[in-house]
Amino acid sequence: MARGPEAPSLANAVLAWCVAGFILAPLIIIVPMSFSAASSFEFPPLRYWLGHYRTYFSSADWLQPTLNSFLVGIASSALTLLVATPAAFAVNRREFAGRRALQILLLTPMLVPSIIMAISYYSVFGSLGLNQTYTGIILAHSCVSIPVVLIAMSASLRNLDRNLERAAAICGATPTQSFRLVTLPLLRPAFILAGFFAFIHSFDEATISLFISGREVSTLPKRMFASIHLEADPVVAVVSALMIFIAVFAMAIATLLRQRRQPARA
């Protein structure tokens, strides 16, 4: 008699929870540290207050880099989608000479260390006058985000049911109509997810920002690095806690939207 799949053992479950705890422990520690009344990092806090939060929300030295990161993240994610989406269609739906080589080249920013990419962009953009400009940092962030969008869009394209597009063609739809009325709506969740990943990738990018961004276009990761390197400002814990809250909120919204799209089961 065939045996069904065995339930996960208690040891596997304990190991999984230990790994999850090891990963999440530093994130959990950051939150109470952000409410500490100490003038430096302190865990566990001896006293709690909101003074560091007030400092963050009232300081242009922190709010301007935050705004820069949002602007750069939105612009770079939009540009990355415009570039990486046609590339994903090309490498997944077309056969041409050098297709595999092109796919590897598009994944290069993920394979090459960030410091090497940063030095390269710094050298090239310096000759073009793009260092310490919004244009330069948006272009750099877009380039290093291409693999993220390419992988997400490629996975969605491979899972897309091509029979739906064929059915539209049989019903008389032109290729353009089929793409606009069938393919794009089916890929809408992939666009949202890929754009979100590209935004997060840009928002978190620190190495390239340290080389390319200047004082006027300083991003939040660069400001955090300077603060922790020069003065160990506890406001860094506030920024980290806020980023954790935003990530958890975004994950909760994505989960709710996915559950609403799923058909009701009997």
The domains of the chain, with CATH numbers, are 60-258 (1.10.3720.10)
The pTM for the full model equals: 0.80
The closest of 74, 69, 28 to 223, measured between CA atoms, is: 69
Average pLDDT over residues 228-239: 79
Q: Mean pLDDT over residues 233-241, rounded? A: 84
| Torsion over CA: 247, 113, 18, 45 (sign) | negative
Q: Are 203 and 73 in contact (CB under 8 A)?
A: yes
Q: What is the mean pLDDT of residues 66-78?
A: 92
On whether the CB atoms of residues 237 and 51 are closer than 8 A, the answer is no
Q: Can you tell me the mean pLDDT for 185-196? A: 83
pLDDT band at 100 (very low <50, low <70, confident <90, very high): confident
- The pLDDT of residue 1: 45
Q: State mean pLDDT over 2-19.
A: 71
Is the per-residue pLDDT at 266 higher than 50? no
Q: Are 240 and 157 in contact (CB under 8 A)?
A: no
> Mean pLDDT across the stretch 149-178?
80
Q: Which helix (H) or strand (E) holds 57?
A: helix 51-58
State the virtual CA torsion across 201, 203, 205, 210 in degrees, nearest 10: 160
